[in-house]
């Protein structure tokens, strides 16, 4: 037993700490995205990761989704620091929003810290009061009185990824971060299985482990595997080669550079984030490249096609990305031409297949040869498959376990997997975002809930998910909108003129004028009937019945149910034109 576990009392039968450490996930459970978990003991809170999610289909106009910080806001004075496992968006993407409000100390690997700096700069977050500290394998950080955390190297699809061992007064909590086991990683730095095994031997109270690929049997292929595939396609290609991949995947970038140099091609970079990350990685010494390999994208016409590799963003067919622009002829320097080989070195993010296939179709139309995941081994996952997960569980041998970083079914499968390794069912906790899981040596239970609904960001404002704004946007996007302007004569209370009708996105232009007239007449009729009954037009307009009648009328004449907006204005008998005409 180490001195550490003695101090914390774990595994020492004479001492049991009755006070729990609270584990509070604010995001990342039941979803892949916006990972963020708070750990609280007494007066100390530490946070692991601060990620964002991409908006779902039912969130039109939303730029990104971040966790709810309400609980942390209420306990701001307790926050001792944020630990970042690695630099992917689902782990650092919310930091600009968080750090704008909470000035605190962030600890993370080199690559993550560099990407965070870039992000804060991009979003103009004032750096005053914020401290960023770079950590490496084996570093132990003390946070407040209750916590310390050790960074343990893992393999993943971004450089400098870490698992964390969080030492608490109750016992050790190991958080896997995102990981895979790669025996032949590109930078030669294998996951520190030895340290994880040592911790397991010493005693781990709680294991929180990612579940992304729990559905896939076996062992994920090494990143090296992709290099072999690149080599194969680079050898065969006769024209230009265009490779799209995630800009943060520095090891993938390195393999593309290596293949280019092997086949005597120059590399040029396309896409803002590709250039930014290349510069960071290069300045950190993570990129091995000959001085004359890199050329400027504007100079590609000076080289024969079979000497060119374009490394680009857009592997997810993001609308504004470089590859999408190339495919649709709107890129500044590159148009796809016959004989190009395009390699998409990434998996579609689930749910994003359609736009990707649209881009692939377009690339084929332009005469390119496209190599993508369902045809070739040009991508391997950065997340552990089942056998790798089992190995980590076996090494760490935790007393308790929480599956994280997965949709609900993945968490359940991960639970079943842990049970198959001999873990009692009651030692595994499937929890939800916002649950407060109070953990002692004798077990854990949910003791409270904190707000953890997704917070939607639109531009610089937040959108309440329950607000009408999103349902309105969906209605507008599906059915268009019809505006009816009603002008009332202030003196008589009657209509001053026929209602004016206008619309967007709901009628064919051929039918429009006829429909406008029909609708105007109908509104006119109904309002005249109303004023005959001596009620005010305004009061009548407020009636649900009136709106329903118009809706049904529009639907019966056009077959559509657009959103209808009534606009009422008043005149005093003289139009503005006449008045100004007198001056
Ligand atoms: Zn990741
Ligand atoms: Zn992740």
Ligand 2 centroid from CA 87, angstroms: 9
Which residue has tokens 């056009």? 558
pTM to 2 decimal places: 0.86
Ligand 1 centroid from CA 157, angstroms: 7
Give the span between the Cα atoms of 4 and 201, in whole angstroms: 13
> Which residues are within 5 Å of ligand 1 (an ion), measured at CB?
88, 178
Q: Which ligand is nearest to the CA of 86?
A: 1
Give the span between the Cα atoms of 224 and 183, in whole angstroms: 10
What would the pLDDT profile of 62-85 be if each residue is shown by its tens digit? Answer: 889 999 999 999 999 999 999 999
What pLDDT, on a 0 to 100 scale, did the predictor assign at position 532?
A: 64
**Proportion of the chain above pLDDT 90, given as a percent:** 72
Mean pLDDT of 31-37: 96
Helix (H) or strand (E) holding 96: helix 95-101
Give the span between the Cα atoms of 444 and 146, in whole angstroms: 18
Asked if residues 39 and 166 have their Cβ atoms less than 8 Å apart, the reply is yes
Ligand 1 centroid from CA 150, angstroms: 19
Q: State the alpha helices, DSSP H only, in 250-402.
A: 250-262, 272-283, 322-327, 353-365, 386-396
> Is residue 241 classed exposed, middle or buried when 0-12, 13-18 and 19+ CB atoms within 10 A define those classes?
buried
Ligand 1 centroid from CA 48, angstroms: 13
Residue 457's beta-bridge partner residues?
A: 64, 462
Ligand 1 centroid from CA 312, angstroms: 20
What would the pLDDT profile of 382-405 be if each residue is shown by its tens digit? Answer: 999 999 999 999 999 999 999 999
Where is average pLDDT lowest: 235-239, 467-471, 539-543? Answer: 539-543
> Is residue 41 classed exposed, middle or buried when 0-12, 13-18 and 19+ CB atoms within 10 A define those classes?
buried
Q: Which ligand is nearest to the CA of 382?
A: 1
Any idea what DSSP says for residue 500? E
pLDDT interval class at 227 (50, 70, 90): very high
Ligand 2 centroid from CA 488, angstroms: 59
281-310 burial, b for 16+ CB within 10 Å, e for fewer?
beeeebbebeeebbbebeebeeeebeebbb
Ligand 1 centroid from CA 349, angstroms: 12
Ligand 2 centroid from CA 91, angstroms: 6
Asked if residues 381 and 347 have their Cβ atoms less than 8 Å apart, the reply is yes
Residue 165's beta-bridge partner residues?
A: 150, 174
Ligand 2 centroid from CA 339, angstroms: 36
pLDDT interval class at 524 (50, 70, 90): confident
* CA separation, residue 131 to residues 111, 208, 344, 424, 533 (Å): 16, 27, 37, 42, 71
What pLDDT, on a 0 to 100 scale, did the predictor assign at position 350?
A: 76
* CA separation, residue 405 to residues 87, 178, 184, 208, 411 (Å): 15, 8, 25, 9, 8
| Number of other residues whose CB lies within 10 A of the CB of residue 575 | 13
């Amino acid at each position: 037993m180490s001195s550490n576990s003695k101090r914390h009392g774990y595994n020492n039968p004479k001492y049991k700490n009755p006070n729990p450490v609270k584990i509070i996930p604010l995001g990342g459970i039941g979803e892949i995205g916006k990972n963020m978990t708070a750990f609280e003991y007494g007066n100390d809170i530490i946070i692991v990761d601060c990620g964002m999610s991409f908006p779902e289909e039912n969130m039109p106009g939303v730029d990104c989704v971040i966790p709810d910080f309400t609980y942390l806001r209420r306990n701001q004075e307790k926050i001792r620091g944020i630990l970042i496992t690695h630099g992917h968006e689902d782990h650092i993407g919310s930091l600009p929003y968080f750090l704008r409000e909470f000035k605190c100390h962030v600890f993370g690997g080199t690559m993550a810290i560099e990407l965070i700096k870039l992000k804060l700069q991009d979003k103009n977050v004032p750096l005053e009061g914020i401290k960023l500290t770079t950590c490496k394998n084996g570093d132990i950080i003390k946070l407040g009185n209750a916590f310390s955390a050790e960074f343990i190297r893992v393999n993943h699809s971004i450089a400098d990824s870490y698992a964390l061992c969080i030492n608490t007064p109750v016992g050790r909590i190991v958080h896997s971060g995102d990981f895979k086991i790669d025996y032949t990683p590109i930078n030669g730095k294998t996951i520190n299985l030895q340290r994880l095994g040592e911790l397991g031997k010493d005693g781990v109270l709680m294991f929180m482990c990612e579940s992304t690929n729990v559905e896939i049997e076996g062992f994920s292929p090494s990143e090296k595997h992709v290099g072999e595939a690149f080599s194969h396609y680079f050898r065969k290609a006769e024209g230009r080669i265009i490779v799209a991949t995630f800009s943060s995947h520095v090891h993938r970038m390195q393999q593309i550079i290596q293949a280019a140099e092997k086949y005597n091609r120059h590399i040029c970079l396309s896409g803002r984030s590709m250039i930014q990350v290349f510069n960071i990685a290069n300045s950190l010494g993570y990129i091995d490249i000959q001085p004359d390999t890199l050329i400027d994208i504007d100079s590609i016409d000076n080289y024969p096609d079979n000497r060119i590799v374009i490394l680009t963003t857009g592997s997810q067919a993001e609308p504004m990305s470089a590859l999408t622009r190339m495919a649709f002829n709107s890129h500044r320097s590159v148009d796809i031409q016959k004989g190009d080989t395009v390699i998409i070195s990434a998996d579609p993010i689930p749910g994003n297949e359609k736009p990707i296939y649209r881009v692939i179709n377009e690339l084929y139309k332009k005469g390119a040869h496209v190599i993508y995941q369902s045809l070739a081994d040009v991508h391997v996952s950065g997340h552990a498959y089942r056998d790798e997960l089992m190995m980590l569980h076996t090494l760490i041998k935790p007393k308790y376990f929480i599956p994280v970083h997965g949709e609900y079914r993945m968490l359940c499968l991960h639970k079943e997997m842990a049970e198959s390794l001999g873990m009692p069912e009651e030692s595994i906790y499937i929890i939800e975002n916002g649950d407060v899981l109070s953990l002692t040596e004798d077990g854990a239970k949910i003791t409270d809930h904190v707000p953890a609904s997704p917070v939607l960001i639109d531009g610089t404002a937040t959108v309440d998910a329950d607000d009408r704004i999103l349902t309105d946007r969906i209605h507008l996007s599906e059915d268009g909108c019809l505006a009816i302007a009603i002008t009332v004569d202030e003196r008589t209370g009657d209509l001053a003129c026929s209602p004016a009708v206008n619309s967007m996105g709901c009628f064919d232009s051929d039918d429009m004028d006829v429909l406008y007239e029909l609708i105007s007449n109908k509104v006119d009729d109904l309002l005249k009937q109303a004023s005959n009954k001596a009620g005010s037009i305004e009061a009548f307009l407020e009636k649900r019945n009136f709106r329903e009648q118009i809706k049904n009328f529009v639907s019966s004449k056009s077959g559509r149910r657009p959103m209808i907006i009534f606009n009422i204005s008043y005149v005093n008998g003289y139009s503005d034109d006449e008045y100004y005409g007198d001056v």
